């Protein structure tokens, strides 16, 4: 089964890499950029009894390892098959 | 205008962070994981005359800064408004 976790910073949390990209783009002459945000996507191929079991498992993975719930939010999508 | 760049490793390129996640999940007892892949998403808010101009600009940004075309592929999506 394929699962996809999308991880973003919570609103108000500073993303230093996004700020660095913003500055670097301005320095390269891309002056039309008004904002930069990043999302990390982690795709998992996993064995699970069914979609519900897969989703529960991936939520545990997200809480324990993939995301930092203090500063990040995550959403889980289970693909068919 | 909102643009979204999705950046992935080319097939065959080793992603050390994905391998580290895979190992860490196994160590945490998530034994059903058969594969891990990552995609970086960069969302941009930008001023552009129209969608075509925005897409061309974001492709230049991707080539010059956001992606490493040697080991990564990218795709650009322009959102409405």
Confidence at A81, pLDDT banded by 50, 70, 90:
low
Name which of A39, A31, A32, A34 is nearest A15 in CA terms. A39
pLDDT at A41 over 80: yes
Strand boundaries in chain A, DSSP class E: 2-9, 33-46, 72-78
| Distance, CA of A62 to CA of A30 (rounded, Å) | 35
The reply to whether residue A34 touches residue B46, judged by beta carbons under 8 angstroms, is yes
CB atoms within 10 A of CB B30: 18
The reply to whether residue A32 touches residue B61, judged by beta carbons under 8 angstroms, is no
Tally of domains within chain A: 1
**pLDDT reported for residue B76:** 98
Give per-residue pLDDT as tens, B15-70. 999 999 999 999 999 999 999 999 999 999 999 999 999 999 999 999 999 999 99
Give the 3-state secondary structure of residue B29.
coil
| Distance, CA of A46 to CA of A1 (rounded, Å) | 5
* Residue appearing with tokens 């993975």: A61
User: The CATH number of the domain where A38 resides is what?
Assistant: 3.30.1280.10
Size (chain A), residues: 81
Average pLDDT over residues A49-59: 96
Average pLDDT over residues A41-61: 96
Share of chain A above pLDDT 70, in %: 98
Interface test with A, best of B9, B15, B24, B46 (most A CBs within 10 A): B46
Residue B71 belongs to domain spanning: 2-79
- Portion 22-51 of B in contact with A at CB < 8 A: 24-25, 28, 30, 32-48
Interface test with A, best of B3, B31, B41 (most A CBs within 10 A): B41
The reply to whether residue A41 touches residue B39, judged by beta carbons under 8 angstroms, is yes
> Which chain B residue's Cα is nearest to A48?
B32
What would the two tokens of residue B16 be? 């050390």
Chain B positions in Cβ-Cβ contact with residue A37 (cut-off 8 Å): 42-43
Task: Report whether B60 contacts A39 (CB < 8 A).
Answer: no
pLDDT at B81 over 60: no
For residues A4 and B79, which has the higher predicted lDDT (pLDDT)? A4
């Amino acid at each position: 089964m394929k699962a996809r976790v999308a991880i973003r910073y919570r609103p108000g949390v500073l993303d230093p890499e996004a700020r660095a990209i913003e500055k670097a783009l301005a320095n390269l002459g891309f002056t039309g950029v008004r904002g930069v945000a990043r999302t990390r996507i982690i795709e998992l191929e996993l064995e699970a009894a069914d979609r519900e079991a897969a989703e529960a498992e991936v939520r545990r993975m997200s809480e324990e390892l993939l995301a930092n719930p203090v500063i990040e939010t995550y959403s889980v999508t289970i693909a068919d098959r």
